Structure 1
Amino acid sequence: MLDLHHIFAMQKKALFFLFALSALGWGFTSYQSIFLGISLGAFFGTYNFWILVRRMDKFDRNLGEGKRTASLGTALRFGSGVAAVAIAITLPEYFHLISTVTGLMIPYVFLIVGAIVYLVKNK
């Protein structure tokens, strides 16, 4: 399987492409709040994935050294998801709530699609 850092690098590339599409959608359509919500959610979703990559590195290091690791950062990732939704709720004229929640899931969709592409290529 692919290294987690390689997956994160691919996610960042896909995120920049998504931000470019969102900027075009924001600039040329009348759905500005939806595209801003997707961008906000994708930003926080990528931040959550970055936290997961960092914690998995620490978990692997500690496992190799025989130490215990307390957590994989679930509370921190949950808190950043709540922060994204709180921003969308407090500024509804700028951010669409449903698209923000959808944007939070985009990095995980990229992860699943990347795994499927990897499996199909190497079969």
Structure 2
Amino acid sequence: MKQYGIMITRQRKWMLYLLAILILGAGFTPYLRIFLGLLLGSIISFYNLYILQKKIYDFGEAVVKKQSVKGLGTVSRFAAVALAVIIALQYEDYFSVKAVIIGLMTSYIVIVIDFMVFKSKD
């Protein structure tokens, strides 16, 4: 589980770097709607990544202890995505809906890139 903890920390760090870049993009470029949409989607994606990592850790602990296993929080993650889309649709002057949807995928992109980079080192 130690290696899993290192992977979690690494992925969260990359997501925070990405969020910082999006904040800079929103502040210093003329594409405010796009960067705000990406930022909103990425924040929800980061929240979903956190929930998923926590649930997977709890799942692993329950399996090791031979306890009953609870779900992986799919409903709460879908609800967060729905909330992001509703916010984007309600405030279309501030958020690009397409950018929000792209931003919702950022944690999965970070996971895949993290896997490819650190798998190639092994």
Q: TM-score, structure 1 length as denominator?
A: 0.89
Q: Which residue of the partner structure matches residue 91 of structure 1?
A: 91
In the TM superposition, structure 1's runs of 4+ consecutive aligned residues that sit over 3 Å from their partners are none
Deviation at 1:85, TM superposition (A): 0.8
Q: Which residue of the partner structure matches residue 35 of structure 1?
A: 35
102-111 vs 6-15, which moves further: 6-15
Q: Which residue of the partner structure matches residue 106 of structure 1?
A: 106
Deviation at 1:84, TM superposition (A): 0.9
Runs (5+) with no aligned partner, structure 1 = none
The 8 Å contact of residues 37 and 103 in structure 1, kept in 2 or not, is answered as yes
Q: Which residue of the partner structure matches residue 53 of structure 1?
A: 53
1:47-100 CA-partner distances (Å, limit 9, x unpaired): 101111111121112111212213111111111111111111111111111111
Query: 1:93 and 1:56 mapped to 2: Cα distance?
Result: 37
The 8 Å contact of residues 25 and 35 in structure 1, kept in 2 or not, is answered as yes
RMSD: 1.5
Runs (5+) with no aligned partner, structure 2 = none
Q: Match for 1:50: what amino acid?
A: Y
Q: Match for 1:68: what amino acid?
A: S
Identity of aligned residues (%): 31
Query: 2:51 and 2:59 mapped to 1: Cα distance?
Result: 12
Q: Match for 2:102: what amino acid?
A: T
Query: 1:5 and 1:83 mapped to 2: Cα distance?
Result: 29
Q: Which residue of the partner structure matches residue 79 of structure 2?
A: 79
What SS is found at the alignment partner of 2:35?
helix
The 8 Å contact of residues 45 and 103 in structure 1, kept in 2 or not, is answered as yes
Query: 2:83 and 2:92 mapped to 1: Cα distance?
Result: 14
Q: Match for 2:24: what amino acid?
A: L
Deviation at 1:8, TM superposition (A): 2.6
The 8 Å contact of residues 4 and 53 in structure 1, kept in 2 or not, is answered as no
**Total equivalences in the alignment:** 121
